[in-house]
A and B are shown apart, each in its own frame.
Chain A
């Protein structure tokens, strides 16, 4: 059974930093591209970032480019999101999501999602 478990969400002040983690199990982690998707309270879904199966390719939404960094440790079956220069508009539930395409590609079809970790940016 595929499981994605996010952690690291806390209350942080504007301008602060935070690292989110996602522990994956139930599938061959290093075969799959992974994503972060977020949802502000009461709002819709927003794609945040992608990292390829080998970490060689990363892409970001314009809203986070230059402030967030996605990474992965395939030896630990873990995905990360380093968030710097946080703004109040970054307040959201952050989901880790698995891409459905196996190896050497991505489809932006998110076939499994975690339960999310809440990041609140507030003074």
Chain B
């Protein structure tokens, strides 16, 4: 079993760029796709990135995803930050050794 580790919180000013990391504890980050979900208070999660770097329709191109094998991590980058981006963000992948889904602990993004 592996874990996905995210920073507990990040903050940045409107208009700036922020990157949230998600580090896989064992096995290659490239072994299974990584998704990123946004969850606003009181709402269900919605997808902002799937399959490492794909954006669902309707998600602005300010959101981008990538993976880095050297650090064994995935990253979500949000540029041109808006106050509406303030939310919790979760990375998620799949452990094919035991057929279990894996979520990171979540990162609270504050835009102020």
Contacts and interface: CB of A to CB of B under 8 A. Distances in A.
B103 interface: yes
A113 B44 contact: yes
Interface string A47-63: 10010000000011110
B2 interface: no
19 contacts: A37-B103, A44-B88, A44-B90, A44-B103, A45-B90, A46-B103, A47-B103, A50-B101, A59-B100, A62-B1, A107-B33, A107-B51, A107-B94, A108-B93, A109-B51, A110-B92, A111-B47, A111-B50, A113-B44
Contact of B100 (A47, A107, A115): A47
Interface of B: 1, 32-33, 35, 37, 39, 44-47, 50-51, 56, 88, 90, 92-94, 98-106
A23 B44 CA distance: 16
Nearest to B90: A45
Contacts, number: 63
Nearest to B56: A111
Nearest to B32: A108
Is the contact region of chain B dominated by helix, strand, or loop, or is it mixed?
strand
A8 interface: no
Interface of A: 35, 37, 44-47, 50, 59-62, 95, 100, 107-111, 113-116
Contacts of B93: 108
Interface-centre pick from A46, A100, A109, A116 (highest chain B CB count, 10 A): A109
A45 B35 contact: no
B90 A109 contact: no
A53 B65 CA distance: 29
Most B Cβ at <10 Å: residue of A50, A110, A111, A116 = A110
B100 A61 contact: yes
A37 B102 CA distance: 10
